[in-house]
Amino acid sequence: MGTTQLESVPEPKYWHLKTVLSEALDHDFAVGEILPNERELAARFGVARATLRQALEQLELEGRLQRRRGVGTTVAPPRVGVAVGSARHSWPGESADGWEAVDAAEALPTAAVLKLLAAGSGSAASGSAASGSAVFAADQPVHTVRRTRVTEGQVVAAELLYVPAASVPGLSAIDAPAGPARARAVLRELQRLALDGQDRSVELGSARADDAKELDRLPGAPVLLVTTRYFTAGGTAAVSVATYRADTCRLTFGDEGVEITETRVAS
């Protein structure tokens, strides 16, 4: 290396490392190829392992690498595009779009879920008696449905759907035992209602322990949280929080059928 220039604004080592590795990935490695292990890479670049790991972490965050404990670090395939906004206004489970019902249960809502349910729909007349007041109280049970989404043979998302018992009259009659069948039964009841509108938001989060397990990631792994609220004339009928693997997924919001095919390229 020598001294090309004494950088006036010294770039952090891990940042420079990341750049070097990134270019090496473009030119000298194929998808799926295994990289040398961390100790050797660190030695090769003359840095401490922690510093090398800082660079690898960034590359993993960007979806360039995949690291698995006990196995090694491999070059990741390009992110898969998963359609999130294409089907306009439909209840969960209405179309066969890769989601699989896993289980259903009943529980009291957490404060966070209550908040989501309480906020009114913009299409409903605001200020009316329907919004706000204790339609969904903390002591009213909420049905929860777990689903997972599989794309190209890989679990890319885990979802938790919250349906207040008050939203759907027929819900209390469901007597299926816990399991996929019960989950599907809850969805069927929900689909009886007339859907008035929906509402989505995307933000960065870290995987809770249970979601991490479904996604085959470590707890705390970066995820994209997609929160959807389903509105009926009566207000917010259901809320779902879908946890997408941020390392492997690109969420697409194309209008019917349009799809971005690939992003990453060499050089």
Residue of the chain from 71, 173, 209, 260 that contacts DNA (CB under 7 A): 71
Shortest Cβ 170–DNA spacing (Å)? 42
Among 20, 24, 48, 176, binds DNA (CB under 7 A): 48
Span interacting with a copy of itself, options 68-76, 91-99, 154-162, 193-201, rule CB under 8 A: 193-201
Among 12-20, 90-98, 137-145, 234-242, the segment contacting DNA (CB under 7 A): 12-20
Instruction: Among 21, 25, 64, 73, indicate the residue that binds DNA (CB under 7 A).
Output: 73
212 binds DNA (CB under 7 A): no
Q: CA-based Rg of the chain, rounded to a whole angstrom?
A: 23
- Considering only 121, 148, 232, 240, the residue that binds a copy of itself (CB under 8 A) is 121
CB of 10 to DNA, least distance (A): 5
Instruction: Give the one entry of DNA, a copy of itself, none that residue 253 binds, where binding means its C-beta sits below a cut-off of 5 to 8 angstroms depending on kind.
Output: a copy of itself
Beta strands 65-68 and 72-75: pairing type?
antiparallel
Nearer to DNA, 73 or 243 (CB): 73
Give the shortest CB-206-to-DNA separation in angstroms. 11
Q: Kindly state the smallest distance separating residue 7's Cβ from DNA, in Å.
A: 9
Kindly state whether residue 58 participates in binding DNA, applying the rule CB under 7 A: no
Amino acid at 262: E
Taking the CA atoms of 88, 90, 92 and 96 in sequence, report the sign of the dihedral they define.
negative
Chain residues in the site for a copy of itself (CB under 8 A): 15, 18, 58, 61-63, 79, 81, 85, 89, 111-112, 114-116, 119, 121-123, 197-206, 219-220, 222, 224, 227, 229, 231, 246-247, 249-267
